[in-house]
């Protein structure tokens, strides 16, 4: 199947979600969407917690968290004993940054595809320690060999203390060859943090085979877990150095329990997360992935055509299975974060279509997601009205 034709819908899949039928929700990548069965599983846990809070928090909670972590780590090919559950990827990034020693002569290297909040966290930690934050440019659509070459050339042995790289970039939907990047950094003994926020559920992954010092992914996006569920995997050499951002009662246990146990936080998202994986497996993981990737490619094509873009103008994510695609917006439009936010809101208000709009490299990028609840007609609705809306927005 090519992007010329939309994929067949998965029977019954749309009914698994409680999304507003009056809205075309083409932005699963930002906050996900929770299947009804997972919502109910979490609500049962909330009911249990409120029926007897002391029993919920005091009897067997840690065992349940460990059991959940093992289940989710297994799904991702990660070592359960070297992994920890966290609220999200950005929380994990801050945890890693404070655990890697930095001084005034050191630097943290990122690519220009880094997620905005991650880049902010890197810069804040560098300000605190006197280190430098540096960015290497990776052209959109660059082949894997060029990506690795550019990053390898940017590394400064003896000075670069951490490399932060996306596995699948949020703003550009570009898939980076992280296994090869990690190998290149290892040649110079430089640790690597892989931001895989969008990977769990969307792409097959073997975290152990990637070999990164730190790898973190959100399960509340494409893994259908409740929001606030991420898994951080840490290589053995770093586990004793991980110090939680907040000290609580399991501090002396060390990683991962010292990170996971944070008193009276809400643990129900984590404990309900296996229900999301179960739902995904019930539909068929490969079936869902193939459908979503094909529909995203189809949506990119038809929206691109509506904006007068040729196939060569539409960036390829650089690998199969990616269910987010981007469409470059007209030159000069949404080139800053405030402008991008305003355009996204305008599309939502005027068309009842939820998308993502990002400013990257001096260009506005419309990001389209595809999930099992989406239909080709939703992308057609966008194509019917987007050109006129963009002209209207330009004249504001």
> What are the residue ranges spanned by the domains of the chain?
14-33+284-394, 38-277
How does pLDDT run across 138-164, given as a tens digit for each residue?
999 999 999 999 999 999 999 999 999
3-state SS, one letter per residue, for the chain: CCCCCCCCCCCCCHHHECCCCCCEECCHHHHCCCEHHHHHHHHHHHHHHHHCHHHHHHCCHHHHHHHHHHHHHHHHCCCHHHEEEECCHHHHHHHHHHHCCCCCCCEEEEECCCCHHHHHHHHHHHHHHCCEEEEECCCCCCCHHHHHHHHHHHCCCCCEEEEEEECECCCCCCECCHHHHHHHHHCCCCCEEEECCCCCCCCCCCHHHHCCCEEEEECCCCCCCCCCCEEEEECHHHHHHCCCCCCCCCHHHCCCHHHHCCCCCCCHHHHHHHHHHHHHHHHCHHHHHHHHHHHHHHHHHHHHHHCCCCHHHCCCCCCCCCCEEEEECCCCCCCCHHHHHHHHHHHHHHHCEECEEEEECCEEEEEEECCCCCCHHHHHHHHHHHHHHHHHHHCC
Residues in the chain predicted with pLDDT less than 70, given as ranges, are: 1-3
Q: What angle do CA 313, 319, 322 make, to 5 degrees?
A: 85
Q: What angle do CA 270, 272, 278 make, to 5 degrees?
A: 120
pLDDT value for 3: 58
Query: Residue 117's CB: how many other CB atoms inside 10 A?
Result: 14
Global confidence as pTM: 0.96
Give 14-33+284-394's CATH code, choosing from 3.30.70.2970, 3.30.360.10, 3.90.1150.10, 3.40.120.10: 3.90.1150.10
How does pLDDT run across 315-356, given as a tens digit for each residue?
999 888 999 999 999 999 999 999 999 999 999 999 999 999
pLDDT value for 245: 87
What fold characterizes domain 38-277? 3.40.640
pLDDT value for 1: 42
């Amino acid at each position: 199947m090519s992007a010329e034709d939309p994929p067949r819908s998965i029977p019954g899949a749309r009914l698994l979600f409680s999304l507003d039928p009056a809205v075309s929700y083409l932005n699963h990548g930002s906050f996900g969407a929770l299947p009804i069965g997972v919502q109910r599983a979490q609500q049962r846990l909330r009911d249990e917690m409120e029926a007897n809070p002391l029993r919920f928090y005091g009897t067997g909670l840690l065992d349940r968290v460990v059991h959940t972590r093992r289940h989710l780590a297994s799904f991702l090919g990660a070592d359960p004993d070297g992994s920890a559950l966290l609220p999200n990827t950005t929380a994990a990034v801050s945890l890693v940054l404070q655990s890697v020693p930095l001084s005034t002569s050191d630097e943290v290297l990122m690519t220009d595809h880094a997620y905005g909040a991650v880049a902010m966290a890197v810069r804040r930690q560098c300000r605190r320690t006197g280190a430098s934050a540096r960015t290497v440019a990776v052209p959109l659509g660059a082949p894997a060999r060029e990506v690795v070459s550019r990053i390898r050339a940017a590394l400064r042995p003896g000075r670069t203390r951490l490399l932060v790289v996306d596995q699948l970039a949020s703003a550009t939907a570009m898939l980076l060859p992280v296994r090869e990047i990690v190998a290149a950094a290892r040649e110079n003994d430089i640790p690597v943090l892989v931001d895989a926020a969008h990977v769990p559920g969307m792409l097959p992954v073997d975290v152990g085979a990637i070999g990164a010092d730190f790898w973190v992914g959100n399960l509340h996006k494409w893994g259908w877990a409740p929001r606030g569920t991420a898994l951080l995997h840490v290589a053995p050499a770093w586990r004793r150095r991980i110090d939680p951002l907040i000290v609580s009662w399991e501090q002396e246990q060390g990683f991962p329990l010292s990170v996971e146990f944070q008193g009276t936080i809400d643990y129900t998202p984590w404990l309900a997360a296996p229900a999301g994986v179960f739902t995904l497996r019930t539909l068929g993981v490969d079936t869902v992935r193939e459908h979503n990737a094909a529909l995203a490619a189809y949506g990119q094509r038809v929206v691109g055509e509506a904006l007068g873009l040729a196939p060569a103008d539409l960036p390829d994510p650089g690998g199969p299975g990616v269910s987010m695609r981007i469409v470059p917006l007209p030159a000069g439009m949404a080139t800053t974060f405030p402008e991008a936010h305003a355009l996204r809101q305008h599309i939502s208000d005027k068309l009842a279509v939820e998308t993502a709009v990002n400013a990257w490299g001096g260009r506005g990028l419309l990001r389209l997601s595809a999930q099992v609840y989406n239909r080709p007609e939703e992308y057609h609705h966008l194509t019917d009205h987007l050109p006129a809306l963009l002209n209207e927005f330009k004249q504001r």
